[in-house]
Homo-oligomer: A and B are copies of this chain.
Amino acid sequence: MERKRIAIVGVGLIGGSLAIQLHEKKISSRLIGVDANADHAQQAIDLELVDEVMNLGDAIAASDVIVLAIPVDKVVAILPPIMDKIEMQVVIDLGSTKSQSIECIKNHPKRGRFVATHPMWGTEYSGPGAAVRGAFENKAVIICNPEESDADALMWVKGMYKKIGMHLLEMEAKAHDLHAAYVSHISHITSFALANTVLQKEKEDNAIFELASAGFESTVRLAKSNPAMWVPIFMQNKENVLDVLKEHIAQLTRFKESIEKEDNEYLMRLIEEANKIRRIIK
């Protein structure tokens, strides 16, 4: 695999972690950082995540590959003008929703240079300082609507993800967004709402957290996640997120009713049903 000049637009948790991998796996010959936040751009240099920082226009001209690791509303805003400026470069986005980024350049003459992807990795932290070594390894990456990308662009992107240790799945954007609502987006909403539930109580009882245990930490950890990333995800995936959120509220209401009625048998059945998640997560 010939080493490429790669621009990372958005050198935060995801872009920064990818930059480390691209360098270590010798995929990049040069790493160019682009970030609307000047402090983040400077941190990316200081942390040696990238070799240099440029503005977007210069970075496009100086790169073979342009990676978008920015919130999904920003992807939709800058992807069309980027596609206007490229020649034969490959453009990749890493966002958690895929329908709208694909839709916004659907009929662009350079559509084939774009590859829509979603590497299934992240943490609840954000910014260049949150970037970690060894990220993405042994995780899944979804490539959406691969038939709409040029064969060479697709091949290069697949090779890159394999080289950083990811296993590839292909999926239509609509199916991706539905699945993502169920296995990622709803987990974040329940975690945010759980945090707000207990923080609300804390106002009247500031000793409430003295006994916070591992179970609590596990379910509420995602509530530390960055709103600038998550608000656009929920809005772009509105229909799917609302479907799963309504179902989740309905499920919680069953627990509420079984407890209200002291219906032990029904509550037992609800929990036994939930135990079947053992099939999915070991």
A-to-B contact residues, CB < 8 Å: 120-122, 139-140, 142, 169, 175-176, 178-180, 182-184, 186-201, 205, 207-225, 227, 230-231, 234-235, 238, 241-242, 244-249, 251-256, 259-260, 262, 264, 267-268, 270-278, 280-281
Protomer copies: 2
A183 touches which one: B211, B252, B275 (CB < 8 A)? B211
- A190: chain B residues within 8 A (beta carbon): 190, 194, 219, 252
Closest-CB distance, A95 to chain B (whole angstroms): 14
Closest chain B residue to A224, Cβ basis: B278
Known contacts A248-B193, A275-B227, A277-B220: A120-B213 contact under CB 8 Å: yes
Is the pair B199, A274 in contact by a Cβ cutoff of 8 Å? yes
Residue numbers in B under 8 Å from A209 (CB-CB): 183, 280
A268 and B227 contact, Cβ closer than 8 Å, known pairs A198-B183, A215-B122, A255-B245: yes
B201 touches A182 (CB 8 A): yes
A–B Cβ pairs within 8 angstroms, 28 of them:
A139-B213, A175-B207, A176-B211, A179-B205, A182-B208, A183-B198, A183-B213, A183-B216, A184-B213, A190-B190, A191-B274, A193-B252, A194-B248, A196-B251, A196-B274, A197-B244, A198-B244, A220-B277, A224-B281, A225-B275, A227-B268, A230-B271, A234-B255, A234-B259, A235-B264, A242-B256, A242-B260, A245-B259
